[in-house]
Amino acid sequence: MKQVNFILAVESYLVRKGMAVVLQRIPGASVVKEFGSVDLLTRYLEHHGMDFLIISDTLFANATDLYMNNPALLERTILLNRDPSAEDRGKKTRGCISLSEEKEEIISKINELLNPYFRDYRANTHGSLTDREKTIVRLLSMGLTNRQIADRLFLSTHTVTTHRKNIIHKLGIKSVSGLTVYAIVNNIITIDEVTSKHER
Amino acid sequence: MCQAVLKHHQLLPLLPRFNIKLGFGEKNVEEVCRLNRVNTDFFLEIANAYLDEDYIPQTDLSLFPIGSVVAYLTSTHDYYLHIALPKIESKISRLLEGSNLSEKERGLVAGFFDDYKKEFLDHISREEDSVLPYILELEKQSMKEEPDSGFLRSLQNDTIKEFAQEHDRLENSLENLSKLIIKYLPPFEDFDLCHQVLTDLSDLVRDLVDHAHMEDKILVPRVIELEQQLTRKFNAG
């Protein structure tokens, strides 16, 4: 699983922890370090990398030197504003969050930022099976072999194998028995339709 | 230490992984850890993360030697293989024996668990035979002045990235079994035993999530960092 590293720089302990808890709710986002002052943040960034910096407006105002020496940092900065009406104010940061925003708003903003990082990962875990893949899972649960499935669906066995690989990739389930139980609990097949091992 | 365990009995499965035994007397957490040669900070981070999934590490986890992280992961594997899975397996077979399930339904549950166990074993032996030794070697080499050139060449193989990407979600599949029991199978006569099976399954799922979290969020980034350091050193020299 790919991981996107965040650094938090907020003077208020409560706000910092609150932000960290929200980030924990986002798969793949990880808070690697928290700072309450610009000094420590500057020193840390001299030696360490990160993907995004979430910084409060107060600390941002104190960090002019940091940004002067490292202009590329702006591109990776998310501003945390106390004043909800204070948009980006032409500061050219990557984005901004306001303290008064609700959890869902914050999460969707951050998810948007993460999208380019996660295109593959999300497609794998959040994408459900296609109709064709569901059909194949269904037939597998009924005890058909790759060959039989290929004949039934007028496909080559090679295509069926490719579908099966994609299914394994999406669900992380390899065995037919695992797929069968998956198919039942996801209403792709009923228990009555399943063929048990000794019937095969 | 006694208070911590009394208040959070969920910590109990962690103790054997650190080789910590009960009978703490009046000793506090630090004393117990010292007695068992466990790094107290490391123990606390693991325990807190185990209790609260929203917990944010207080100590820089990169400070802990990779060796202790690997040792913890290995003893967790042992717990899964020798305690958690056999326990669930025997309860499931007792549950099936005393049930009115059809032959087909029984085969479904038993077959599912058999195959799950096989996949689980595969996953763990892949980790223990290739990934973990590679990580330990990586740490050893990174402490040397002159890393072996053979090892450096093998760095290009992206072992850890592959591992991180392929990291199977072993817990998702287990949850399907609980859903099957709760929702789709005819009710079991022995509700108490069924309750135990469901509780054990859900404990194991939680433990696996925590385990994957350790691997993905602590181990993998550390290893990538070490790999990069070594590659830089090699290219510079």
Query: Is B129 in the A-facing interface, judged by CB distances under 8 Å?
Result: no
Q: Is the pLDDT at B214 greater than 50, yes or no? A: yes
Are residues A55 and A16 both part of a single domain? yes
Are residues A120 and A136 both part of a single domain? no
Q: List Cα–Cα distances, A132 to A12, A137, B172, in angstroms.
A: 52, 9, 22
CB contact under 8 A, A199 and B104: yes
Q: Which helix (H) or strand (E) holds B94?
A: helix B85-97
CB contact under 8 A, A171 and B172: yes
In sequence order, the 6+-apart residues with CB closer than 8 A to the CB of B212 are B167, B169, B170, B171
User: What is residue B143's predicted lDDT score, i.e. its pLDDT?
Assistant: 81
The 8-class DSSP code of residue A96 comes to: E
Chosen domain end from A125, A145, A163: A125
Are residues A23 and A87 both part of a single domain? yes
DSSP codes of every residue in B100-151? ---HHHHHHHHHHHHHHHHHHHHHHHHIIIIIHHHHHHHHHHHHSSS--HHH
* Token representation of residue B24: 């703490």
CA nearest to B221 within chain A: A3
Task: Give the bridge partners for A79, in sequence order.
Answer: A55, A96
User: pLDDT band at A29, cuts 50/70/90?
Assistant: confident
User: What is residue B162's predicted lDDT score, i.e. its pLDDT?
Assistant: 67
Q: Is the pLDDT at A139 greater than 70, yes or no? A: yes
Mean pLDDT on B202-214: 87
pLDDT tens string A93-130: 888 888 888 888 888 888 887 776 654 443 444 357 88
Chosen domain end from A110, A125, A140: A125
Backbone angles phi, psi at A181, to 5 degrees: -65, -40
Instruction: Give the number of A-B residue pairs with CB atoms closer than 8 Å.
Output: 90
User: What is residue A196's predicted lDDT score, i.e. its pLDDT?
Assistant: 63
Query: What residue has token string 């993905």?
Result: B216
Q: List Cα–Cα distances, A25 to A2, A28, B53, in angstroms.
A: 15, 9, 9
Quick check: pTM over 0.80? Answer: no
CB contact under 8 A, A178 and B56: no
CA nearest to B185 within chain A: A191
pLDDT tens string B42-79: 899 888 888 876 666 667 766 788 888 899 999 999 99
Q: Give the closest residue to B78 by CA, choosing from B34, B16, B158, B132.
A: B16
pLDDT tens string B82-111: 999 999 999 999 999 999 899 999 999 999
Are residues A63 and A100 both part of a single domain? yes
Query: What residue has token string 């990934």?
Result: B131
- Do residues A178 and B179 touch, judged by C-beta distance below 8 A? no
CATH code, domain carrying A22: 3.40.50.2300
User: pLDDT band at A197, cuts 50/70/90?
Assistant: low
For B54, the closest of A24, A194, A198 (CB atoms) is A24
What is the rounded distance in angstroms from the CA atom of residue A52 to the CA atom of residue A45? 12
In sequence order, the 6+-apart residues with CB closer than 8 A to the CB of A58 are A11, A82
For A3, the closest of B114, B184, B216 (CB atoms) is B216
Give the number of C-alpha atoms closer than 13 A to the C-alpha of residue B39, restricted to the C-beta side.
15
Average predicted confidence (pLDDT) for chain B: 86
* Token representation of residue A186: 């996801």
Q: Give the closest residue to B40 by CA, choosing from B55, B66, B20.
A: B20
Query: Is B167 in the A-facing interface, judged by CB distances under 8 Å?
Result: yes
Query: Is B201 in the A-facing interface, judged by CB distances under 8 Å?
Result: no
Q: How far is B183 from chain A (nearest CA, A)?
A: 8
Are residues A115 and A47 both part of a single domain? yes
Give residue A42's domain range.
Answer: 4-125
Tally of domains in chain A? 2
- Find the range with the poorest average confidence among A15-24, A84-93, B19-28, B108-117: A84-93
Q: Which residue has the higher pLDDT, B177 or B139?
A: B177
**Three-class SS state of A56:** strand
User: pLDDT band at B164, cuts 50/70/90?
Assistant: low
Residues of B in contact with A176 (CB under 8 A): 115
Are residues A77 and A111 both part of a single domain? yes
For A182, the closest of B107, B164, B176 (CB atoms) is B176
For A191, the closest of B168, B184, B216 (CB atoms) is B184
* Token representation of residue A44: 């840390």
- Do residues A80 and A57 touch, judged by C-beta distance below 8 A? yes
CA nearest to A21 within chain B: B54
What is the rounded distance in angstroms from the CA atom of residue A35 to the CA atom of residue A39? 9
Residues of B in contact with A33 (CB under 8 A): 60
Q: Give the closest residue to B219 by CA, choosing from B155, B163, B152, B142.
A: B163
Q: Which of A48, A171, A173 to mutate to test the interface with B (most CBs of B within 10 A)?
A: A173
**Three-class SS state of A83:** coil
Are residues A139 and A93 both part of a single domain? no
Residues of B in contact with A170 (CB under 8 A): none
Average predicted confidence (pLDDT) for chain A: 85
Q: Is the pLDDT at B237 greater than 80, yes or no? A: no
Are residues A84 and A140 both part of a single domain? no
Q: Give the closest residue to B49 by CA, choosing from B216, B183, B164, B231.
A: B216
Are residues A115 and A145 both part of a single domain? no
Chosen domain end from A103, A125, A147: A125
Are residues A173 and A189 both part of a single domain? yes
- Do residues B13 and B207 touch, judged by C-beta distance below 8 A? yes
User: What is residue B14's predicted lDDT score, i.e. its pLDDT?
Assistant: 92
Are residues A69 and A147 both part of a single domain? no
CB contact under 8 A, A24 and B105: no
Residues of A in contact with B224 (CB under 8 A): none
Are residues A73 and A135 both part of a single domain? no
User: pLDDT band at B159, cuts 50/70/90?
Assistant: low
Mean pLDDT on B193-213: 91
**Sheet (strand A77-81) strand order:** A29-35, A4-9, A52-56, A77-81, A95-98
CB contact under 8 A, B221 and A172: no
Q: Is the pLDDT at B155 greater than 60, yes or no? A: yes
pLDDT tens string A160-194: 999 999 998 888 788 899 999 999 998 899 999 98
Q: Which residue has the higher pLDDT, B115 or A47?
A: B115
Q: How far is B115 from chain A (nearest CA, A)?
A: 6
